[in-house]
């Protein structure tokens, strides 16, 4: 029997021994830098002349790795291999497939410092942020394994007459594509892929180019666990051209995408078109961006609210879809909260992600650095800058915490996803006004409200229109199996990753009746 699901414990980095384990793992990653990773299709490797290069965001002169820039021909082979593997994979029991997820989880757990070190070096996570992601990756694998076993038991229907048996079986869809973002290139990628395969689908894994080594090592863990060739296929390549090709492909049955709104909506459009030879409507699940707010009421724990705003806004440099980018503060406590937020944010240290105890690492790459810088410039016209400034040229893509106060609810920096360490402080007339401002966005991913007023908390429960609402706590850090995750409106299709219904998205229900 499998033990009940429980969240993977986090590593305590206040202990010297854990810092040392991390440094040993970082040294191992250092030795592997500069290697090349091929596409792996049906167990066969394909390297291309043209390669993708992944760079260390803490040290932009250092190449983390190179990877195949997969061609359309390689992509075609991936669809062939995946459909061929589907024939035998789809008839395996949920239990048999689930055990392979548990095995993958066990491998990653045993090597957790190594996986976390990869995240430190390739995507610039601090030790704590990297460990939390590795734990989330393990949780997704463990949780979906258990959910799959439950799914097998589901579906016995009542009989209409005595001489009739009715049942419903949840069968897989076919070949799916998992397209991952770089910011949760291990956990989200693992979850999107594992959910597909455990239901009997076969998958093409398309990693983000800035996190291609993390993707390659995750794929390797699936292989080492014994997931058969062709059931998962690793297809690195250029987001734009290769991405367009695979999502438009007539042999793609479903697409599981996590990334930006712009790319997500583009994929949704491409996927809607039925290509010659295509026999189905592609199923698309997508989790996109956010413009998340924390509301602060006049009656609450001010210190806790301010610390939480800072943690939610600047954790992983603000590069979480769930990050707080607007603090909406009721006017009575605006000055108090602003002072406290400024105080705590000023204490954050910024530097190479591998530095033990550092508060913030770099942003992911030059594009992000330029985009965030342009929003800082816009913010200077839209609000009063009270912390940080335009970033200075250095060895990595470092941007110190930036805070603007007195930002208008309609300002660009109050409306658009910046995806970096930039926080807008907005004054509200009342709690109701704060809710109205919070909801005045195209997005609807996460939100949080701090209040000791029961009525206001109830108002937030009813009216704060977000997929993940938190009361008197931070708006980041959803846990698998505890806070199913997914957004409303243009934040996505609300697929609720890590939730009890998630796996159903990758199945179709077959209803069967037998007359006895
Ligand atoms: P992105 O949209 O730029 O890229 C995501 C993935 O799509 C990458 O693998 C990329 O190569 C690929 N891609 C790019 N163009 C494509 C195309 N035309 N066809 C197919 N694939 C294509 O996003 P990103 O910068 O990697 O990630 C950051 C974004 O992701 C932010 O907006 C963030 O809010 C969002 N995000 C959302 C969630 C969530 O659960 N809601 C979680 C993490 C990140």
Atom of ligand 1 nearest to the CA of 487: 41
Kindly give the distance from the C-alpha atom of residue 322 to the centroid of ligand 1, in angstroms, as a whole number. Answer: 14
Residue pair 178/203 in contact by the 8 Å Cβ criterion: yes
Which residue's alpha carbon is at the smallest distance from atom 39 of ligand 1? 287
Q: How many CB atoms lie under 10 A from the CB of residue 156?
A: 10
Kindly give the distance from the C-alpha atom of residue 207 to the centroid of ligand 1, in angstroms, as a whole number. Answer: 10
Kindly give the distance from the C-alpha atom of residue 118 to the centroid of ligand 1, in angstroms, as a whole number. Answer: 20
Kindly give the distance from the C-alpha atom of residue 186 to the centroid of ligand 1, in angstroms, as a whole number. Answer: 14
Could you tell me if the CB of 388 is within 6 A of ligand 1? no
Kindly give the distance from the C-alpha atom of residue 259 to the centroid of ligand 1, in angstroms, as a whole number. Answer: 2
N-to-C CA span, the chain: 35
| pLDDT computed for residue 162 by the predictor | 82
Which residue's alpha carbon is at the smallest distance from atom 8 of ligand 1? 208
Could you tell me if the CB of 179 is within 6 A of ligand 1? yes
| pLDDT computed for residue 156 by the predictor | 63
At 164, list the tokens. 């009739």
287 an active-site residue?
Answer: yes
The length of the chain in residues reads 516
| pLDDT computed for residue 435 by the predictor | 98
Q: CA–CA distance from 139 to each of 132, 446, 470, 475, 482 (Å)?
A: 10, 20, 21, 19, 11
321 an active-site residue?
Answer: yes
Residue among 199, 321, 324, 475 flagged as catalytic: 321
Q: Best of 133, 208, 259 to mutate for ligand 1, by most ligand atoms within 8 A of CB?
A: 259
Kindly give the distance from the C-alpha atom of residue 262 to the centroid of ligand 1, in angstroms, as a whole number. Answer: 9
Residue pair 225/103 in contact by the 8 Å Cβ criterion: yes
The helix/strand/coil state of 510 is strand
Q: Best of 185, 192, 239, 319 to mutate for ligand 1, by most ligand atoms within 8 A of CB?
A: 239
Distance, in Å, from the CA atom of 469 to the CA atom of 291, rounded to the nearest integer, reads 13
| Residue whose token pair is 């009542």 | 158
Distance, in Å, from the CA atom of 381 to the CA atom of 373, rounded to the nearest integer, reads 13
Which residue's alpha carbon is at the smallest distance from atom 10 of ligand 1? 239
Could you tell me if the CB of 181 is within 6 A of ligand 1? yes
Could you tell me if the CB of 444 is within 6 A of ligand 1? no
Kindly give the distance from the C-alpha atom of residue 184 to the centroid of ligand 1, in angstroms, as a whole number. Answer: 10
Q: How many CB atoms lie under 10 A from the CB of residue 59?
A: 19
At 179, list the tokens. 């397209």
Which residues of the chain, if any, have pLDDT below 50? none
Which residue's alpha carbon is at the smallest distance from atom 23 of ligand 1? 259
Helix (H) or strand (E) holding 69: none
Distance, in Å, from the CA atom of 354 to the CA atom of 48, rounded to the nearest integer, reads 31
Could you tell me if the CB of 237 is within 6 A of ligand 1? no
Atom of ligand 1 nearest to the CA of 266: 18
Could you tell me if the CB of 182 is within 6 A of ligand 1? yes
Atom of ligand 1 nearest to the CA of 244: 19
Kindly give the distance from the C-alpha atom of residue 181 to the centroid of ligand 1, in angstroms, as a whole number. Answer: 4
Atom of ligand 1 nearest to the CA of 492: 41
The helix/strand/coil state of 490 is helix
Residue among 111, 287, 382, 417 flagged as catalytic: 287
Could you tell me if the CB of 402 is within 6 A of ligand 1? no
Helix (H) or strand (E) holding 102: helix 94-110
Residue pair 113/130 in contact by the 8 Å Cβ criterion: no
| pLDDT computed for residue 410 by the predictor | 98
Could you tell me if the CB of 266 is within 6 A of ligand 1? yes
Vertex 269, ends 258 and 364: CA angle to 5°? 30
Predicted confidence (pLDDT) per residue in 8-23, tens digit:
999 999 999 999 999 9
């Amino acid at each position: 029997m499998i033990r009940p699901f429980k969240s993977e414990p986090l590593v305590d980095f206040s202990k010297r021994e854990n810092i040392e384990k991390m440094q040993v793992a970082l040294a191992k990653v250092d030795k592997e830098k500069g290697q090349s990773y091929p596409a792996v299709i049906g167990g066969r490797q394909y390297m291309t002349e043209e390669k993708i290069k992944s760079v260390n965001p803490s040290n932009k002169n250092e190449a983390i790795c190179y990877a195949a820039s997969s061609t359309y021909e390689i992509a075609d082979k991936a669809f062939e291999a995946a459909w061929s593997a589907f024939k035998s994979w789809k008839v395996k029991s949920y239990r048999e497939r689930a055990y392979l997820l548990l095995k993958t989880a066990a491998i990653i757990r045993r090597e957790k410092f190594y996986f976390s070190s990869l995240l430190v070096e390739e995507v610039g996570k601090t030790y704590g942020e990297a460990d939390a992601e590795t734990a989330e990756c393990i949780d997704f694998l463990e949780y979906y394994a258990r959910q799959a076993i439950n799914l097998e038991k589901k579906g016995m229907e009542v009989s209409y007459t005595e001489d009739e048996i009715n049942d419903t079986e949840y069968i897989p869809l076919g070949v799916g594509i998992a397209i991952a973002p770089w910011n949760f290139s291990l956990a989200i990628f693992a979850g999107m892929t594992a959910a597909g395969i455990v239901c009997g689908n076969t998958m093409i894994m398309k990693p983000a180019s800035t996190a291609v080594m993390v993707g390659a090592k995750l794929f390797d863990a699936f292989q080492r666990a014994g997931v058969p060739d062709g059931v998962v296929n690793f297809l690195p390549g250029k987001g734009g051209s290769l991405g367009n090709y695979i999502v438009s492909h007539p042999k793609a049955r479903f697409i599981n995408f996590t990334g930006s709104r712009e790319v997500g909506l583009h994929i949704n459009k491409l996927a809607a078109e039925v290509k010659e030879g295509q026999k189905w409507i592609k199923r698309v699940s997508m989790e996109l961006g956010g413009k998340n707010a924390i509301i602060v009421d006049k009656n609450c724990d001010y210190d806790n609210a301010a610390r939480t705003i800072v943690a939610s806004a600047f954790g992983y440099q603000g590069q979480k879809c769930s990050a707080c980018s607007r603090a909406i503060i009721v006017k009575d406590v605006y000055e108090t909260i602003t002072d406290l937020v400024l105080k705590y944010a000023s204490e954050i240290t910024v530097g190479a992600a591998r530095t033990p105890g550092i508060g913030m690492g770099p942003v992911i790459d030059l594009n992000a650095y330029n985009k965030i810088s342009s929003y800082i410039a816009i913010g200077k016209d839209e609000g009063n800058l009270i912390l940080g400034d335009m970033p200075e040229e250095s060895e990595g893509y470092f941007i110190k915490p930036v805070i603007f106060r007195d930002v208008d609810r309609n300002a660009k920096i109050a409306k658009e996803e910046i995806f970096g360490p930039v926080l807008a402080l907005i004054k509200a007339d009342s709690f109701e006004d704060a809710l109205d401002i919070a909801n005045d966005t195209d997005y609807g991913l996460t939100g949080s409200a701090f209040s000791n007023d029961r009525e206001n908390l109830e108002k937030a429960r009813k009216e704060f229109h977000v997929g993940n609402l938190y009361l008197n706590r931070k708006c980041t850090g959803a846990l698998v199996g505890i806070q199913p995750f997914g957004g409303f409106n243009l934040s996505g299709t609300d697929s609720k990753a890590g939730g009890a219904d998630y796996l159903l998205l990758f199945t179709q229900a077959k209803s069967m009746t037998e007359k006895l």
